[in-house]
């Protein structure tokens, strides 16, 4: 389909972006790579009279890694994540997830910022960022602020970002231990029927910490604190993994759609989570 008519802006700096947002309010939307927003505009699911392209705005395409923190600019693409050697060493779960997003053509344009800011429950990065305890950096007319990923998502396509704010980057503590991103989908390039992000640390054969988040099983990403807690202090025997799966199933709220009925989605969620836990544990 063809989107409704819109005005196109390509400011050279953040001041120009904020000026357009201030002038047009909620009639304006910012676009990073466009692979979340443009399809919605084509399907007339999003009415955007004023479209602001961020591609010429500097300072949002960097990946920074220090001893404690990873910071990723909003314009970093999935392909950038895959190709960044140091990031692959520091936070390998990011590369593992990025390789499962859509297809190479999309990954060359689709950005981290667009993936997390759009609020689409089917996107991969929101749940992953919750698993990593990430923080989102926003800037608006009233200045800059940080919002934890756990508090950012309110409902499908609704987030804590105000209409006059731009997401400029994400940051998270340097991950430790084992990791896994598991995803079941109908075909290559599709959204997940269910996906699981897991980070686990262990000491002396016992789990010392576990972080678990699920994708596309509710109208927001699901960070299952109870599922992670079920693993801590155990050696991850079969009963423990089943307890974590049961805890996760209590937290998700899938709906029936063309990816299957609710019972099927819950079954897939359990299978995917078990695989992710077992693989993360083997890497811890």
pTM of the entire predicted model: 0.94
Q: Say which range, 1-5, 136-140, 234-238, 259-263, has the weakest mean pLDDT.
A: 1-5
- Dump pLDDT digits (tens) for 228-248: 999 999 999 999 999 999 999
Query: Where does CATH 3.30.390.50 sit in the chain?
Result: 178-283
Helix (H, G, I), strand (E, B) or coil at 164: coil
pLDDT exceeds 80 at position 36: no
What residue ranges of the chain are covered by domains with CATH 3.30.465.10?
Answer: 63-173
Alpha carbons 159 and 220: distance in angstroms, whole number: 9
DSSP-assigned letters across all residues of 245-269 = HHHHHHH-----BTTB-HHHHHHHH
Into which CATH architecture does domain 63-173 fall? 2-Layer Sandwich (3.30)
User: Check: CATH 3.30.390.50 for 178-283?
Assistant: yes
User: Which part of the chain has CATH 3.30.43.10?
Assistant: 7-53
Q: Lowest-confidence range among 2-6, 149-153, 254-258, 273-277? A: 2-6
pLDDT at 34: 79
Q: Is the domain 7-53 a CATH 3.40.50.720 member?
A: no
Does 274 score more than 80 pLDDT? yes
């Amino acid at each position: 389909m063809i989107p409704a008519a819109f005005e196109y802006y390509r400011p050279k700096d953040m001041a120009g972006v904020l000026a357009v947002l201030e002038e047009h309010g909620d009639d304006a939307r910012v676009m990073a790579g466009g692979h979340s927003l443009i399809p919605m505009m084509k399907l007339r699911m999003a009415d955007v009279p004023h479209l602001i392209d961020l591609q010429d705005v500097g300072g949002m395409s960097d990946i920074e890694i220090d001893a404690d923190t990873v910071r990723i600019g909003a314009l970093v693409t999935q392909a950038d994540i895959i190709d960044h050697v140091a990031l692959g060493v520091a936070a390998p779960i990011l590369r593992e997830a990025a390789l499962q997003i859509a297809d190479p053509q999309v990954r060359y344009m689709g950005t981290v910022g667009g993936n997390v800011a759009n609020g689409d429950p089917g996107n991969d990065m929101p749940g992953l960022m919750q698993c990593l305890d990430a923080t989102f950096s926003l800037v608006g007319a009233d200045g800059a602020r940080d919002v934890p990923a756990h508090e950012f998502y309110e409902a499908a396509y609704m987030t804590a970002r105000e209409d006059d704010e731009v997401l400029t980057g994400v940051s998270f503590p340097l991950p430790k231990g084992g990791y896994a991103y598991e995803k079941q989908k109908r075909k290559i390039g599709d959204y997940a029927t269910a996906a699981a992000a897991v980070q686990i640390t262990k000491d002396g054969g016992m789990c010392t910490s576990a972080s678990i988040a699920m994708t596309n099983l509710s109208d927001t990403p699901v960070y299952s604190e109870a599922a992670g807690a079920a693993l801590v202090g155990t050696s991850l025997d079969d009963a423990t993994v089943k307890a974590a799966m049961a805890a996760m199933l209590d937290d998700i709220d899938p709906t029936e759609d063309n990816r299957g009925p609710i019972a099927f989605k819950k079954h897939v969620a359990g299978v995917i989570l078990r695989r992710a836990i077992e693989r993360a544990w083997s890497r811890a």
